[in-house]
Amino acid sequence: MKNSSPRRLLFLFFVLLVAMSALAQPQPKKIIIDTDPGTDDALAILLALNSPEVRVQAITVVPGNVTAQMGLQNALKLTTLANRCDIPVAGGAQHPLAQKLITAEFWHGKNGLANIELPTRCKADPRFGPDLIIELVHKYPHQITLVPVGPLTNIALAVSKDPSIVPLVKQVILMGGGISGGNVNAAAEANIYNDPEAAQIVFNAGFASLIMVGLDVGNKTLFTDRQVAELQAAPGPIANFVAQVGTFLLDLSRRFGEHGTPMYDPLAMGVTLDPTLVTTHAMRVDVETRGEFTRGETVANRSNMVERNVLHGDRYIIEGVDKVTPNARVCVDVRAQRFLDLLVSRIRGK
């Protein structure tokens, strides 16, 4: 009995060390991906499913790059490809809040996945996407990060139905917008342009932390033949699919004189995994919903100040400036090569 006591103490000490080590390890972020898959959406989803930093609680589908029905099927194909049928995949809105849907098969292929055919074994969750978002935010208060990489219709519907989720959301990291021009026209980025009213609701909902990963950084993350070759050197179902998608997007980009294709949605997921990939500035962002030439533009106040105009007789006189409260951190620079290396390594399973 005398010899067993020190051994027991040593065992208990070892168990305590293991427990303390486990507590010291950062816990994966709980995320909900809201998506309109979509080629680059597909890459963002697969990046998340191959990354230990996050735990995907659900995938909700919004119309955008493709119709709501096709987007739901594509999301199920991607979870099938990743062998992750345990993740709830739910359909959401069927159309934007106040305009007709604009789909982008021109950029993403007729099936939204670069015309690559994938099998489907996973089944759709019967819950309505915005309701699932509300349910999970209440289930995990202050733990859920929302990662919308499509139009913001589902997020706006969830916020409008249950505003109490806003202070319970840990963070929103969205792909959308730009502060130096658009990609559907001179002013607007595609995700915001496809539902400006929803975007205005989300930007002004009052989330404690909202990061806008827009064109200003996405256009610097060019996926090229180098990344395709790196993926082809490590063949596997996911790597092969992503290499094929990359080849499709590169062929399309070359038609317009570009040597690479921007990784818009995967970058938003990359920022979710590693916020140090980008530099952000706090800004007040509003969304133009009425402009003839600027509908869908994310109007960012870089100085967070506005002039104070006071009416005197038949004219206004500037009497000073008022501060405005930032509602977003806007990404203004990116460690592009570091991100691309991360994307490829995770897709290769390393």
Query: How far apart, in whole angstroms, are the C-alpha atoms of residue 61 and residue 92?
Result: 6
**At CA 123, angle to CA 120 and CA 128, rounded to 5?**
130
Q: What is the pLDDT of residue 26?
A: 79
Q: What is the pLDDT of residue 20?
A: 55
List, for residues 83-122, the tens digit of each pLDDT value.
Answer: 999 999 999 999 999 999 999 999 999 999 999 999 999 9
Q: What is the pLDDT of residue 267?
A: 98
Tokens 């080629």 belong to 39
List, for residues 30-56, the tens digit of each pLDDT value.
Answer: 999 999 999 999 999 999 999 999 999
Q: What is the pLDDT of residue 14?
A: 64
| Average pLDDT over every residue of 8-33 | 71
| Average pLDDT over every residue of 68-81 | 98
The encoded tokens of residue 86 equal 């345990």
User: Which residues on neighbouring strands pair with residue 254, listed in sequence order?
Assistant: none
Query: How far apart, in whole angstroms, are the C-alpha atoms of residue 157 and residue 348?
Result: 36
Whether 271 has a pLDDT exceeding 90, the answer reads yes
List, for residues 113-167, the tens digit of each pLDDT value.
Answer: 999 999 999 999 999 999 999 999 999 999 999 999 999 999 999 999 999 999 9
State the average pLDDT for the chain. Answer: 95
Tokens 């030439």 belong to 293
Q: What is the pLDDT of residue 4?
A: 58
Q: What is the pLDDT of residue 22?
A: 46
Q: Where are the domains of the chain?
A: 27-347
Q: What is the pLDDT of residue 155?
A: 99
The CATH number assigned to the domain with range 27-347 reads 3.90.245.10
| Average pLDDT over every residue of 236-247 | 98
| Average pLDDT over every residue of 294-302 | 98
